[in-house]
Amino acid sequence: MNNESRDKLIQGSVERIEQKLTELRDLYKPHSYDFKTSLNWNGLRLRTLTTVPELIQVLAQIKDVERSEREAFKLVREKVGELMKDVKEPESRLCGYHAQDWEDDIVELIKSKCYNDKLTTLENAKEELENYLSDEVKTDRQIESIINALSL
């Protein structure tokens, strides 16, 4: 493969990567979400978790606690009987927040993690591909960048 065809292949790939980066950035706005919880689950700071499986495990714990509370209420209601007829099931509050708020926040953390991972992968691939461009194309790009910066 000669330099010209290699440069065209690389430039086409870089353009596709840039398109995917634009689509990704349009799809997800990482700073547009306001967290509802403290992101501190039983002493575990959720922002410090680095993998999606870790976050899913915390969500599973939260769902287990929520389910256990509902089951416990139903059990007590059955055993106490008529005396609890008018007692409503208490709203589940886990570490001071609703279970749904925990779920929403953890899902958002997972989205953010996946977004950042994908963004990094695409940006690294683009950078690596650009390293293989010929010196001539790199020089042309630098000249174009200077001209564009000067608005000529």
Pairing between β-strand 93-94 and β-strand 44-45 as defined by DSSP bridges: unpaired
Domain ranges of the chain: 3-149
Question: Could you give the percent of the chain with pLDDT greater than 70?
Answer: 99
Please say if the pLDDT value at position 79 is more than 90.
Answer: no
> Which amino acid type is present at position 58?
V
Please say if the pLDDT value at position 130 is more than 90.
Answer: yes
Pairing between β-strand 40-41 and β-strand 44-45 as defined by DSSP bridges: antiparallel
Cα–Cα dist 1/13, whole Å: 16
Q: Please, which pLDDT band fits residue 17 given cuts at 50, 70 and 90? A: very high
* pTM, rounded to two decimals: 0.80
**Distance (Å) of CA 36 to CA 91, 94, 102, 108:** 16, 12, 8, 11
